[in-house]
């Protein structure tokens, strides 16, 4: 048997990126230390100034290198100052991680509800498990053909009521809600009421063949909750089984409780 597993999505915070960013900042803050040592270098250039006083003509030339050296010392800290704001680009990763990933809301499973009886046109049938879905489709086609000929529109979703099951097959009622009574019904069709009373609601998405997994999960749910179900259950086809691709079916499964 296939076991159902629920996948959980977890958002990863790029902490490693932050930790790698710190050494770079430290390396950049320590790099200005050699630049600071460059500032004392102009000091020795001050010693030639007495010699420059002896020869006034070179004095005008000698201060110009000293003056050009002093800006170079001040220029070197400027990269260090520009390096200090570098941690700013590392701030966005935490902000991005703070935004949670969108989570899809799960379908209700075992939701307590109360079914209301509705007027339906129905047809009885039997089917074996190997061709179950084809048999149900034929029953829905017969009902829709009858309603189309008489210009009656359904007032609700198509339903299957399982009345008995065994290892080889099952008996069922295919039902379509209507507001007015159809006329000239065949012998195997009739007008009646859909099931009513307290029930648990489950949702199946996918093909009819995969419903075994859904019913296995329903059985486990009833066992865990120690609930007793009646000898019947109802499938309400939210998507039209005559027009919908089989693996895209959406079906409400109702389990009446004792």
Under CATH, what is the fold of the domain 111-256? Multidrug-efflux Transporter 1 Regulator Bmrr; Chain A (3.20.80)
For the stretch 131-143, what's the b/e string if a residue is b when 16 or more beta carbons lie within 10 angstroms of its beta carbon? ebbebbeebbeeb
Closest to 152 measured CA to CA, from 180, 125, 186, 120: 180
For the stretch 77-107, what's the b/e string if a residue is b when 16 or more beta carbons lie within 10 angstroms of its beta carbon? eeebeebeeeeeebeebeeeeeeeeeeeeee
User: What does the pLDDT read at residue 106?
Assistant: 77
**Whole-angstrom Cα Rg for the chain:** 41
Task: Read off the pLDDT band of 48 (50, 70, 90).
Answer: very low
Per-residue pLDDT for 4 more than 50? Answer: no
Give pLDDT tens digits for 184-214: 999 999 999 999 999 999 999 999 999 999 9
Give pLDDT tens digits for 9-43: 222 223 333 333 434 433 444 444 444 443 444 44
What is the average pLDDT value for the chain, to the nearest integer? 73
User: What does the pLDDT read at residue 86?
Assistant: 53
- Could you tell me the pTM of the whole model? 0.60
Task: Read off the pLDDT band of 99 (50, 70, 90).
Answer: low
Angle at the Cα of 77 from the Cα atoms of 74 and 78, rounded to 5 degrees: 90
Domain positions in the chain are: 15-97, 111-256
Task: Read off the pLDDT band of 52 (50, 70, 90).
Answer: very low
């Amino acid at each position: 048997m296939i076991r159902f597993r629920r996948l959980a999505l977890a958002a990863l915070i790029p902490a490693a990126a932050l930790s790698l960013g710190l050494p770079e900042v430290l390396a950049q803050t320590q790099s200005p230390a050699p630049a600071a040592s460059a500032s004392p270098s102009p000091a020795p250039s001050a010693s030639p100034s007495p010699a420059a006083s002896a020869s006034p003509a070179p004095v005008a030339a000698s201060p110009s290198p000293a003056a050009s050296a002093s800006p170079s010392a001040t220029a070197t800290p400027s990269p260090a100052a520009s390096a200090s704001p570098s941690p700013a680009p590392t701030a966005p990763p935490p902000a991005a991680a703070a935004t949670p990933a969108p989570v899809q809301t799960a379908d209700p499973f075992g939701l307590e509800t109360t079914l209301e009886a509705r007027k339906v046109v129905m047809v009885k049938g039997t089917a074996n498990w190997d061709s179950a879905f084809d048999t149900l489709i034929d029953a829905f086609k017969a009902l829709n053909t009858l309603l189309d000929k008489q210009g009656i529109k359904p007032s609700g979703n198509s339903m299957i009521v399982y009345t008995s099951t065994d290892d080889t097959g099952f008996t069922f009622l295919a039902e379509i809600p209507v507001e007015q009574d159809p006329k000239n019904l065949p012998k195997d069709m009739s007008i009646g009421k859909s099931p009513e009373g307290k029930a648990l609601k489950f949702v199946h998405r996918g093909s009819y063949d995969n419903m075994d997994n859904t019913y296995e999960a329903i059985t486990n749910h009833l066992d865990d909750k120690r609930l007793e179900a009646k000898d019947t259950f109802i499938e309400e086809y939210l998507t039209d089984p005559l027009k919908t691709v089989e693996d895209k079916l959406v079906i409400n499964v109702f389990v009446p409780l004792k």
